[in-house]
Amino acid sequence: MLEKHFQLSQRYLNSALSFLEIHNLIIYPEPGVITLSDEVCDKLSVSLINSRKMLLDSLMQSQAFIEFTYFIGKGKNEKESVRLILSLYDIKQSEAVVLKIFQEWIKLLGIKISEKPLKNQTLDGIKNSLQNKLYANNFIKEFLDDDLRNVSEQVITELSNAIKEIPEDNEASINEGGRALEDFLRLDLAKDIDLSRCSGIGEIANELNKYPQYPKKLNSLCLGLSSVRSIGKAHGADKILKVKWSITEHGATGYIIMVLSVIKSYLVFKQESKTVF
């Protein structure tokens, strides 16, 4: 029925519905019945404008789609890019089907893919990425390179949110960047260690100091980043000075660069036993 209504193939329709279900946009309350999830209904009840934003937010959690746009931005054509995606993510779909889906997402959301490579580890790279979520995610991909696949989607989303807050809300940016680092330490880096009793980046860093596989230099950097995070929205006025710190755009930008650098350095050491920062 649906394929006739939308004039789409069953295979294409199944792929689209699977995407919507994975990202909690639709649910199946009973066999043969499809409806919007409660979360989507709540957001749409506020404003129909949210529908486009919700879809974009969901797409930005799809690493395959992010990397597809990244490869195009690096100068590869669409067919080359989708071929790489199918290989990297072991997607059991034809090139034509996946390419058509990606093309329609880009068209539907009016996404503009920059063909100018982002400059890694520079303020220019951050500035470019501030334009929208896609650029933010591509900047993160450019920075972490192949290590991106060892970082959970939750952390990438938080890093992207941190970038997008600059310069409108630099305090929120630092808080979000700190949350990304904390979640990376818990979810991605030290999954073999029980960190449930640790509260915040600082306590996690102190716990990691007990294990030789986590370089103390990087743990110390985490302590410093934890201190910076405390002057953002995570805490109020300085306990000693009795005044609140102001966060500049450069400060927030530098914080994101440091968080990304620490994440990459941890991963390089863990996988290759190399001390690179």
Domain presence at residue 266: yes
Domain presence at residue 40: yes
Domain presence at residue 17: yes
Provide the pLDDT for residue 129: 59
State which residues form the domain around 24.
2-109
Of 109, 133, 168, which one is at a domain's C-terminal end?
A: 109
Domain presence at residue 116: no
Are 60 and 35 members of one domain? Answer: yes
Domain presence at residue 118: no
Are 9 and 134 members of one domain? Answer: no
Are 137 and 99 members of one domain? Answer: no
Of 62, 78, 109, which one is at a domain's C-terminal end?
A: 109
Of 109, 136, 165, which one is at a domain's C-terminal end?
A: 109
Domain presence at residue 23: yes
- The pTM for the full model equals 0.65
Are 98 and 169 members of one domain? Answer: no
Are 150 and 247 members of one domain? Answer: yes
Mean of the pLDDT values across residues 130-145? Answer: 77
Across all residues in the chain, what is the average pLDDT?
A: 81
55-108 per-position pLDDT tens digit: 666 666 677 887 788 788 778 888 988 888 888 777 777 888 888 888 887 877
Are 43 and 88 members of one domain? Answer: yes
Confidence grade of residue 121 (pLDDT, cut at 50, 70, 90): very low
- Phi first, then psi, for residue 26 (nearest 5°) are -135, 160
Domain presence at residue 117: no
Total number of domains in the chain: 2
216-267 per-position pLDDT tens digit: 999 999 999 999 998 866 566 777 887 888 899 889 999 999 999 999 999 9
Domain presence at residue 51: yes
Using the predicted structure, report yes or no on whether residue 207 has a pLDDT greater than 50: yes
Are 241 and 145 members of one domain? Answer: yes
Are 83 and 133 members of one domain? Answer: no
Are 60 and 141 members of one domain? Answer: no
Confidence grade of residue 118 (pLDDT, cut at 50, 70, 90): very low
Are 139 and 208 members of one domain? Answer: yes
Provide the pLDDT for residue 52: 62
Are 97 and 147 members of one domain? Answer: no
Are 127 and 258 members of one domain? Answer: yes
